[in-house]
Amino acid sequence: MAFEQKDQKLIPFTDFLFRILKHVMIAGGVVSLSILIGTLGYHFFENLSRIDSFYNASMILTGMGPVTVLKKSTSKIFASLFAIYGGIVILAITGIILAPLAHRLLHIFHLNESDD
């Protein structure tokens, strides 16, 4: 997943779109794995149904907060750690998705400087 170097030409726009698509798919994989971890955690620690576990994991991961009142200490600890993890995941996904765009913009700026 290497980007072109500063002395290389800009890749064609269609290749750039495929690069963005690849990064969006990677980000989707990270989200899917995170939802799976959260769903299993809520199901295991709080004995919630699968759909309620999925709902809670989704809400925590998006920063909306928990839905179910947790009764067990272990599930509260899991929810706290999952919320911290969710914040980190949101930042990482933002970086994964924006990296190709930022690289292309910086590459264009560098090519413009080279022309002067």
| Structural domains for the chain | 31-106 (1.10.287.70)
Return per-residue pLDDT of the chain as tens, 116 residues. Answer: 677 787 788 889 999 999 999 999 999 999 999 999 999 999 999 999 999 999 999 999 998 988 999 999 999 999 999 999 999 999 999 999 999 999 988 888 776 665 55
| Token representation of residue 32 | 């899917």
Cα-to-chain-centroid distance, residue 101: 16
**Distance (Å, rounded) from C-alpha 74 to C-alpha 59?**
19
**Distance (Å, rounded) from C-alpha 90 to C-alpha 13?**
27
What's the pLDDT at 69? 93
pTM of the model: 0.84
